[in-house]
Amino acid sequence: EDDILGKLPLRGKKVLITAGPTYEAIDPVRFIGNHSSGKMGFEIAKAAANNGAEVILITGPTHQKVSHSLIEIVPVTSAQDMYDAAHEYFNSVDVAILSAAVADYKPKDVATQKIKKKDSTLTLELEKTKDILASLGDIKKQQYLVGFALETNDELENAKGKLKRKNLNLIVLNSLNDKGAGFKGDTNKVTFIDDKEIITEFKLKSKAEVATDLLNKIISQINA
Ligand code: CTP
Ligand code: CA
């Protein structure tokens, strides 16, 4: 962590990270969410800061804690909040890593009063949220843009499709197949696919180790 000689590889670089779930309001007391713990994003933030980067960590609601002089936490709730925060900082960063589990759909109308129990069924109409990662891919200049892909089938093909469609430099494929992997636990089984379609498959590892592997890959790519 010490950088007396100024040798840390990300010294002087700014890194934006999104983490955690988003909560989409149904009414004043209810929301649609998911089980993302935020752990992966927080580990990436720590790994980036330990390499000397100045980190903007935009996070949905989580129980994760981090205290590091190089990490600024920007707490958000909904996908729209996360979109706004990401766009506020994106132009000033060198690297953006979008690991958040953003809701794909949100209630079309948010009830202003608590919805009362009435009929035996209740239908909520949902509409798509904005794709934050794709929107950054559309406007990116020199930024190195990293996305995640959570897949259960046709994993490599789906991940490659997201890499191209969203104009990314790197995608981290998260395999849900293997026991112990996933966004709730402490481990992940990942595969990196870069924009040259170089594929690197890793064994099941702790999220801290995955974060180290990811930062090493990014450092080697931005210095290439
Ligand atoms: N993502 C995002 N904004 C959204 C949805 C997803 O920024 N509204 C980002 C995620 O943070 C992740 C990447 O897009 O880095 C891929 O997310 P994923 O859920 O795997 O893919 P989707 O494009 O949402 O497609 P699908 O869920 O249908 O597989
Ligand atoms: Ca999705």
Q: Which residue ranges form the domains of the chain, and what is each CATH number? A: 14-104+127-222 (3.40.50.10300)
Per-residue confidence (pLDDT) for residue 175, from 0 to 100 = 85
Contact 49, 88 (CB under 8 A): no
- Locate the ligand 1 atom nearest the alpha carbon of residue 158 and give its number: 29
Instruction: Chunk the chain into consecutive blocks of 10 residues (it has 224) and report each block's average pLDDT, rounded to whole numbers.
Output: 74 98 98 97 98 98 97 98 98 98 98 97 98 98 97 94 98 78 78 97 96 98 91
Query: Residue with the nearest Cα to atom 24 of ligand 1?
Result: 104
31 is in an annotated binding site: no
Specify the ligand 1 atom closest to the Cα of 103. 8
Ligand 1 pocket check for 100: Cβ under 6 Å: yes
Residue 162 assigned ligand-binding role: yes
pLDDT at 6: 65
Predicted complex ipTM: 0.98
Interval between CA 116 and ligand 1 midpoint (Å):
33
Q: Is 166 labeled as ligand-binding? A: yes
Q: For residue 130, give the ligand 1 atom closest to its CA.
A: 8
- Check residue 185 and give its pLDDT: 75
Strand partners, 173: 149, 191
SS (H, E, C) the chain: CCCCCCCCCCCCCEEEEEECECCEEEECCEEECCCCCCHHHHHHHHHHHHCCCEEEEEECCCCCCCCCCCEEEEECCCHHHHHHHHHHHHCCCCEEEECCECCCEEECCCCCCCCCCCCCCCCCCEEECCCHHHHHHHHCCCCEEEEEEEECCCHHHHHHHHHHHCCCCEEEEEECCCCCECCCCCEECEEEEECCCCEEECCCEEHHHHHHHHHHHHHHHHCC
Model-wide pTM > 0.80: yes
Ligand 2: centre distance to CA 104 (Å) = 5
Give the mutation target among 44, 133, 168 for probing the ligand 1 site: most ligand atoms within 8 A of CB.
133
Ligand 2 centroid to 150 CA: how many Å?
8
